[in-house]
Structures are given as structure tokens and as C-alpha cells.
Structure 1
């Protein structure tokens, strides 16, 4: 099914049990809890529940284990993210934006239209826009999207193979060291757990962290990740005793801070910015380097 108003159809993998129908499986899917039986029937009658080949699905048909069906969901009510998504660069293959804090990269959970992907699709009037990588919702900065399906894999591979060089900036308390500190450990994140954890085992997370400036607001750090574990930079800064300003998870969970954006309060962003992105363009061979215009030392550019 093609995207509708910039939003992709939802894919549901059927978890069949004895004598269950497709309708039974859909009604038992937590992600579809907002759709009652009547709403599912109405969608099926309109041909808006289809299989992987795009054929309409009969809700009364026996469910087949691990097969996929697709349907459009009602869009959730979302708190608008009142910040712009400036374009830093665009050509026929890619568009590079300067993502603000609080805007998710792509739809997930209750964040759907208030995402960089859906905004770009609507602004550029193209459902072909796709992310080449992602930034956490709370992290601002340089983010790259592709504009043509034919080139998508080439740009995504830059990030999968670590050929894209990323550098971040963060605001935190003053360091008690000089020079660059390399943090090497093992980070794992369990589904359902908000926080990632450092555990025993082979190293899978490496970051270089350097204090580069002291300001009235705090110290500014250059962070260079050599791996891409979830929350890696946030966890590594906290482990050094200099947690990033505005972090609702590290070193301690702060529900009051985490819930502010849900109530329209964007006054305390995580002071972490994807400052620059450099790579050799896999299509043109041109060396590219893009830099964010956002500063971690002030929140003025997020309003």
C-alpha cells in the first residue's frame, strides 16, 4: 500500500494460533488497540487491509503464521513540535536537514506526523523520501534522507559500514581530565527497558570524548562515536561523571523531565547535537561535509 499523506501503512505480522482467523489476530494485536471490530470490518470492506501482494484480505480467512498484512491506522493526536526543519542541502539523490530536538526521525509509537520523515514527505510532496540513518528524538542535528529508491541502499550502507563520519557536540559539567578520553565497553538494551546498560562481555561501544570549551552555561564537548549503540554517547558521558544537560534517563531516570514535551513544554532539551556528517558520496564520488547550525550552549535556536 502506498503512503497516505506521507504516512506509511502499518505492517502487522500475524501470530496465528489454532483455528484463528485474520480478524482474530488483528483484534489481538496491541498496536491496533485503537481499532475496534467495526473499524476493522469497515477497512476490510473498503479493501484497505491487504496482504504482501496488495490483495484485499478476508478477515474471516484462516490466519497463516508469520504472514504480513497492511492497513492504514487512524493518526493519533500529537502535541505539535513547534520548531522548523531547515534544509541544509538537496540534490536529486539526497536531502540533508538540521533536525530540531523533540522531533522523531520516523514514525514510531505515538509519534507519527510529528516526525522528520512525514514532514519532509509533505513539504517536498514526495512519498519516496526515506531516512538513510536516524537520530534519537531528543537529539538534534544533521540528518540525511534519500529521494530516490534506486540510491537508498548505497547511502544506507555508508552508515551500516561506518564510512560516514559523525561528530557530536554536548553540554555538560566541567571535566576533571584534559585531552581526549576513549570509552570502551559493552552496551546492551533490552526491549521494554527505557535505558541501555553497560554489561560484561566483548567491547561493542567506543567513543572519543574531548572537552573543547568552557562557557557560562557549562562545558562543551566534542563526541566522536566509533560504534552506534543505542544511547551510547549519553551513557558514556554519564559514566564519566559528566551527564549531558537535559538528559531524562542518565544517570538517573527523571520522569518529570521526560514528560514535559508531552504537555507542550520544550524548554529543557537534551543538549546533544549531531554537529557534523562527512562521507564520500557513493553515487557521485564527491566528498561531502554538512554541519548543524544549532548550538548546545543555548536553547534559543530550538524555539
Structure 2
């Protein structure tokens, strides 16, 4: 994989510092420095300690990642909302698992993405899921097509700078049109459910009521942290479980799984240095 940036600073800067300012992690830089890549300035190979000057182009060439043979290939379809050399944005159907596990080892989004890259003849055949969704949560999911992209966006993920919004249908009615839930979430050994607990990890969920009926509401939900089942746990904790969410006490009279979709992702693309925003509608049902 080869990527080029035009340095826009006003003072000379070392390659490492510049790439770190773009988001590249320390581990990847060391891998590139220690034989798994090359650095070119003005199309000439240079040492990783080189300083680049204002308006000089820096090219990073990384060795491709071969396919992980433990991940099975699946020819089931991918609903691709966007694709370029670095990213795949997938519209995941509800009911499809994000990654293989003990109960599902094929047909997941990861299995499909690997097969897609293989069929495309891509030199990089080890996609990295940047966001993940519960099996029965549908909507947008971001995939890095190679390890350089994965490394360079990880800082945004860790610092919660990636915007992730969801549409949720919940039970009950609200007195206020906006709220923030700031309650820690913990995992208990042997339990699938997450719980609100003082010893849990910080979890912050913000929501806006977009539509309200006699006994249910449609919410726009923004995650400020990324805990497992976060929206489901938080909405149940304030007395508004997701409709269909059998695990957290939701009404299952009509739906057997939670009514939740990831409808918006927005992030700073470290390759183009532009903001990328993607949205998708919820299914007609």
C-alpha cells in the first residue's frame, strides 16, 4: 500500500513526528522503519529520521498484509455504501454478525470483506473492522482495507472523536426532548448482559427525541464512548428499553430483536485530511 501526503507546515519536521500528527501509531511506524516499509521524500527513498521541508511530498510504502487463513471466505454479499483505496463503509443488515466467534464462524461481515478483497485481487487481504455492531443492530460499519488505515484512525476511535449516531425505537414517552446518560457499564462473568455498576467503565450516551407516540418514541442517539451494548443498557436503565430487546426487558410482542440502526458515521480521513460523513436510512419496516 502506497500513500502520499504534501507537508503543509512552515518549519522542517521529522517524518515520525509528521506521521504521528496525522494519526499513525508508534507500533506501525516502528514496523515500517524496521523493514516492513519505505519512506520517500520527493520520490527518493530516505531514512526514517529525515526531516521534510514545507511543501515536500512524503510517500509511505507499506508491505501488504496477506490473508489470515483462519478466517473463512464467504461469498455472501456486502452492501457497500462507500469504497476507496483505504476504506469500506458497509450497510450491515440486522441479523448478521460483525466478526466470527464460537457460535458463528462464517458469513460474518469480516468473512465477506476478506472474500471481497480476495476477489478484487487486492494485495492487502486482511481488513480491519474499525466499528462493530451487535448482531441484530443494522446500519453503517467502517472497515479499514489495510493496517496503515487501521493504525491512522485508531487515535480518533480511542479519543472518541469519531461521530457515531443511531436511530432507536424505545418504549415509553419522554418529558424532555434531549438527555445525556452518564452511567458506568460493567461486565459480569458468565453473563451476556452488561450492567450499570460503579466499578464499570465510563459510558456516556446522548439522545434527542425525534418522534413520540402514546407508548413509544423514536430517538436519535449519539455515543460519546463505545461500550458493548451501551445504548441498550443505558436506555433500559432510564426505563426506556429498546423495542424488541429481549435481553434488556424490551417489548417483544411484535419484534424479537432490538430496533436499533447505526445511521451516521463521520470521521477525519487521515489520507485526504477531509471530513467524511456517511448516512443511511433505516429499513422501511
**TM-score normalised by L of structure 2:** 0.67
Q: Distance in 2 between matches of 1:217 and 1:103?
A: 29
Contact kept, 8 Å, 2:187 with 2:200, in 1: the verdict is no
Corresponding residue pairs, total = 214
Q: What's the secondary structure of 1:157's corresponding residue?
A: helix
Correspondence 1:91 to 2:79: no
Q: What's the secondary structure of 2:236's corresponding residue?
A: helix
Determine which of 140, 143, 146 is the counterpart of 2:144: 146
Q: Distance in 1 between matches of 2:230 and 2:197?
A: 13
**Corresponding residue for residue 108 of structure 2:** 115
Larger strand proportion of the pair: 2
Contact kept, 8 Å, 1:175 with 1:211, in 2: the verdict is no
Q: Distance in 2 between matches of 1:222 and 1:150?
A: 32
Contact kept, 8 Å, 1:101 with 1:270, in 2: the verdict is no
* Residues 238 and 202 of structure 1: CA distance in aligned 2, closer, same or farther (over 3 Å): closer
**Corresponding residue for residue 281 of structure 1:** 269
Contact kept, 8 Å, 1:184 with 1:203, in 2: the verdict is no
Determine which of 248, 253, 262 is the counterpart of 1:250: 248
**Corresponding residue for residue 169 of structure 2:** 171
**Corresponding residue for residue 153 of structure 2:** 155
Contact kept, 8 Å, 2:269 with 2:275, in 1: the verdict is yes
Determine which of 271, 286, 290 is the counterpart of 2:259: 271
**TM-score normalised by L of structure 1:** 0.63
Contact kept, 8 Å, 1:87 with 1:97, in 2: the verdict is yes
Per the TM alignment, residue 228 of structure 1 is displaced from its structure 2 partner at its CA by 1.3
Per the TM alignment, residue 217 of structure 1 is displaced from its structure 2 partner at its CA by 9.4
Q: Distance in 2 between matches of 1:170 and 1:5?
A: 35
Contact kept, 8 Å, 1:101 with 1:269, in 2: the verdict is no
